[in-house]
Amino acid sequence: MKNPSILVLEDEPFQRLIAVTALRQLGLQCIHEAADGAEALARLDACSGVDIVLCDLRMAGMDGAAFLRHASEAGVVRSVILSSEAAPDLRQAIVSMTRSLGLQFLGDLGKPFDMERAAALIARHTPEPATVPVPGQSPDYPSLDDILRGLDQGEFEAWFQPKFHLGSETLQGAEVLARWRHPQHGVLSPSQFLPTMEANDLIDRLFWQLFAQGLALQQDLACTGRRVNLAFNLQPRQLSDQSLAGRIGKALAVAGLPGEGLTFELTETGLLEAPATSLEALVRLRLLGCGLAMDDFGAGYSSLDRLCELPFSQVKLDASFVRKLMIQPRSSAIISSAVALTKSMDMTLVVEGVETAEQRDQLLALGCQVAQGYLFARPQDRDSFLSLLARKGTPGIH
């Protein structure tokens, strides 16, 4: 890949000189510079744009925020590296704005200029925007006929994303996820079949296949005196089915299993679309002893209102707050508030997306207890999950 072209937008001459000199030492040849947003736009217009802009925020004349908006509208910049001494909350807001403008955000360089970090951020630049495949137009999306055949043949499997106690790393249960063991293509992830399933109203059929597999696993564990809580995802249209709770209760009775071993996860945004009959379904599930979790808590706009209205027993904090934990100071305040809120409402808080030991340690310091993420375990098939259960001992119901 050829070296990317870059614009250094910095109003302080000495800082700009340092940046330009360092970039040349990194081997970049096409480097432009400007002292404010208006000058930067003029230079970009003259050179037909650049790949990357190294952008300050506070400048006389047009500031960095206005520049990024104009540059996006003109299509003269593809990627952004932030270089500013502005407060962390302002820098984070610019990150969100940059992404919403359709620009690739490579990272926050900060000040003073760090050549090694600058090289790492520049290396993240991709020369062309990623293309998004469309169902039915890409080999990554199997056909509807193939999906129907897979459902008939029982090729869709329940995989398990474990939940752990942050401190002791004891197993606290698992979320049930869908995988397709395709005879030609191997194990396929949900992104390769769920869009087609959703478009053709097949999610309910997939749910009941995964649900049956989950109950079968719980039955096998019960025979050896073990048990594990399994969480299943429900969609709004399923809640409008008045027979849902009855079918789940009947399946539990036939399997000889308690409702306490099940949790049903619902996204907040999905609940906004749910009809009034959904409340009856949720109440009946709780009467069976099942848990209800609000998934992706904080990702929408009415989380608190829904927690008041609906009978949730668990809250799953959206992974975006963990991803921002080290770069956005306010994320810590939100997480600690979620800890206090769920404790006062006698709910369990599950933190999603924990990937590093540093995140785990900070979450523990904030009072979090239960989490799931790649730091502990990736989604795994039945055999691998049973092996994990054997290593981690007998979990309880949570």
Cross-strand pairs, 32: 7
Please list, in sequence order, all residues whose beta carbon lies within 8 angstroms of the beta carbon of residue 349, skipping any fewer than 6 positions away.
314, 315, 317, 338, 339, 342, 343, 368, 369, 370
- Tell me the one-letter amino acid at 165: H
φ and ψ of 265, to 5 deg: -100, 135
Alpha carbon separation from 202 to 47, 83, 125, 271, 304 (Å, rounded): 51, 48, 38, 19, 31
Write down the catalytic residue from 33, 39, 352, 358.
352
Annotation marks residue 352 as catalytic: yes
Which residue in this structure is represented by tokens 């809640």? 239
Q: What residues are labeled active site?
A: 352
